[in-house]
Amino acid sequence: MTRRKKIYEGKAKILYEGPEPGTLIQYFKDDASAFNDQKKAVLEGKGVINNRISEYVMTKLNIIGIHNHLIKRMNLREQLIREVEMIPLKVVCRNIAAGSLATRFGLPEGQVLPRSILEFHYKDDKLNSPVVTEEHITAFNWATTQEIDDMMAMTLRINDFLSGLFSAVNITLVDFKIEYGRVFENDFARIILADEISPDSCRLWDSTTNEKLDKDRFRRDMGSVIESYTEVARRLGIMQEMPTVIQGGKV
Ligand code: TMP
């Protein structure tokens, strides 16, 4: 067996060289981290569930015209993806006050926001991914004004679509983080959605009880992290394809 070339290793994923130029393989690890790596654990089965949930969501988004890097899921832990030039920004969209927004503005967690709020964070863990404005983004050449407009419009569409998708299975989309990359076609650059969308990168609450079904369970030591991720997959109707070890909740 030939060893694949590792291109990048992040906290929850590894990127390997893909089978053809312009492709990569995205591998989902079981590692979980929070608070800038100060808290770490291995949550057995997390990578498998996130790979499947992210594939499901990205495929649905593609159908409604939100182009993204997913080509296909290859196996339990890997996806074949398009290679993109990552934009060094985390785009956060919030519908309900929670997490760092609640802390920064002294808002009670759970307060419905007057409208959805978009934030750009500069992607640098050493700097704690600070919030940045369009001024910073254009001055430092991280993205053009046109690209900022595209990311904002796409993120709001993703928010509308995902809010509906989760609401249909009694889950409230509180907030989420996404990342974008550039692809080059005939000398033109275009922005597409990249990275992942999973309970690691979204806040998802049971709409009836407000029970957390996302990574806050890990951040706040609430327990039952995998069980909650599994519950999200179950409600989305994609649990039957999971290996039996995860289906039985024994991971
Ligand atoms: P925050 O409240 O900590 O700023 O996070 C807002 C949402 O974005 C929450 O769903 C978690 C997600 N997020 C990430 O997944 N990774 C990140 O680095 C950041 C800043 C947020």
Distance, CA of 182 to CA of 185 (rounded, Å) = 10
Token pair 């949930």 in the structure block, residue = 53
Q: Decide: helix, strand or coil at residue 36.
A: coil
Q: Residues 153-179: what's their mean pLDDT?
A: 98
| Percentage of the chain lying above the pLDDT 90 cut | 92
Burial degree of 88 (CB within 10 A; 0-12, 13-18, 19+): middle
Q: Tell me: pLDDT of 251 over 50.
A: no
Mean pLDDT of the chain: 95
Instruction: Give the position, in ligand 1's atom list, of the atom nearest the Cα of 125.
Output: 18
Q: Tell me: pLDDT of 215 over 70.
A: yes
Contacts of 79 (CB under 8 A, 6+ apart): 25, 26, 28, 51, 54, 55, 70, 71, 72, 73
Using the Cα atoms of residue 32, residue 10, residue 60 and residue 89 in order, give the sign of their dihedral.
positive
How high is the pLDDT of residue 190?
97
Closest CA to 66 of 196, 153, 142: 153
Which residue type does 187 have? Answer: D
Ligand 1 center to 160 CA (angstroms): 18
Label residue 240 by pLDDT band (50, 70, 90).
Answer: confident
Nearest CA to ligand 1 atom 11: 201
How high is the pLDDT of residue 248?
54
How high is the pLDDT of residue 245?
55
Q: Tell me: pLDDT of 243 over 80.
A: no
Token pair 């039996």 in the structure block, residue = 244
Q: Residues 64-92: what's their mean pLDDT?
A: 98
* Cβ(85)–Cβ(181) below 8 Å: yes
Q: Which domains does the chain have, with CATH numbers?
A: 6-84+230-246 (3.30.200.20), 85-206 (3.30.470.20)
Distance, CA of 242 to CA of 186 (rounded, Å) = 40
CB-based pocket (< 6 A), ligand 1: 90, 92, 98-101, 121, 129, 175-177, 201-203
Nearest CA to ligand 1 atom 19: 177
How high is the pLDDT of residue 2?
61
Label residue 37 by pLDDT band (50, 70, 90).
Answer: confident
Q: Classify 114 in phi/psi space as left (phi over 0), alpha (psi -120 to 50) or beta.
A: alpha
Token pair 């049971």 in the structure block, residue = 206
Ligand 1 center to 201 CA (angstroms): 6
Ligand 1 center to 238 CA (angstroms): 25
Q: Tell me: pLDDT of 28 over 70.
A: yes
111-141 pLDDT per residue, tens: 999 999 999 999 999 999 999 999 999 999 9
How high is the pLDDT of residue 36?
85
How high is the pLDDT of residue 3?
76
pTM score, two decimals?
A: 0.96
Distance, CA of 51 to CA of 35 (rounded, Å) = 23
Both tokens of residue 229? 């991720």
Q: Residues 181-205: what's their mean pLDDT?
A: 97
Token pair 């007057």 in the structure block, residue = 114
Q: Classify 13 in phi/psi space as left (phi over 0), alpha (psi -120 to 50) or beta.
A: beta
Label residue 209 by pLDDT band (50, 70, 90).
Answer: very high
Half-sphere exposure of 20 (CA within 13 A, CB side): 4
* Cβ(94)–Cβ(113) below 8 Å: yes
